[in-house]
Amino acid sequence: MTTARPAVRRDAEASRAAIVKAARHLLARHAHGDITLRAIADRAGVSPPLILKYFGNKDALFASVMDFEADVDVLLDAPLEELGRHMVRCVLSGQSERGADPILRIVFAPLHGAQGDILRANFRTQVSERLAARLSGTDAGLRAELAVSLLLGLGVMYGIARGPQVRAADIEAVVDRYAPAVEAQLVPSA
């Protein structure tokens, strides 16, 4: 007589998060059309049918991956007078602790054809325009885009180019050096 193994219960939220994380990772390295459900499933440690159960299809999964709302909630979660330092720290800690940057996936938009257009539109409304709405002055939109471009540059150097000096430096030391450039864009020019 064989004893039945107890069923392993999966945490649905953990599985969904692993799927999204895997899809983000692959989307940051491969063209949308080249990414298979099998590759996402393998990276997430789940089965392809589970992806379909949670998201319906690959396009629905990538629609959620191309959304920046949750990441921007964290990125902008500081008072304006502390926001520059907070955003720089957020980019660096995301890379060093989780191997992910909250906004860096926009860099790969050209790889994704029509999906890249969706990624760019979401980025503009959910990142740049949302930051601009927090700023005062007539050039708030320009300053928001410039501040975000500084963050993207840092994210590229840390996460993609893997600059050895930036990666070896203490995060707070980099924040001290880099945040003033970001902060300069957050205040209206005199």
Interval 111-152: pLDDT, tens: 777 778 888 888 999 999 999 999 999 899 999 999 999 999
pTM listed for this prediction: 0.77
Cα–Cα distance measured from residue 152 to residue 106, given in angstroms and rounded to the nearest whole number? 9
pLDDT tens figures, 52-73 = 999 988 888 887 777 788 788 8
**Token couple for 174:** 């980099």
Last residue of a domain, one of 65, 80, 99: 65
Q: For residue 121, what are the domain limits?
A: 69-186
pLDDT of residue 7: 44
Any domain includes 105: yes
pLDDT of 6 above 80: no
Residue 41 near residue 51 (C-beta atoms within 8 A): yes
Instruction: Looking at the structure, tell me whether residues 156 and 115 fall in a common domain.
Output: yes
Amino acid at 14: A
* Count: domains in the chain: 2
CA distances from 187 to 73, 80, 181 (A): 20, 9, 11
Instruction: Looking at the structure, tell me whether residues 54 and 80 fall in a common domain.
Output: no
pLDDT of residue 10: 58
Residue 110 near residue 32 (C-beta atoms within 8 A): no
> Residues in the chain, how many?
190
Any domain includes 4: no
Instruction: Looking at the structure, tell me whether residues 88 and 159 fall in a common domain.
Output: yes
Residue 99 near residue 160 (C-beta atoms within 8 A): no
Instruction: Looking at the structure, tell me whether residues 18 and 49 fall in a common domain.
Output: yes
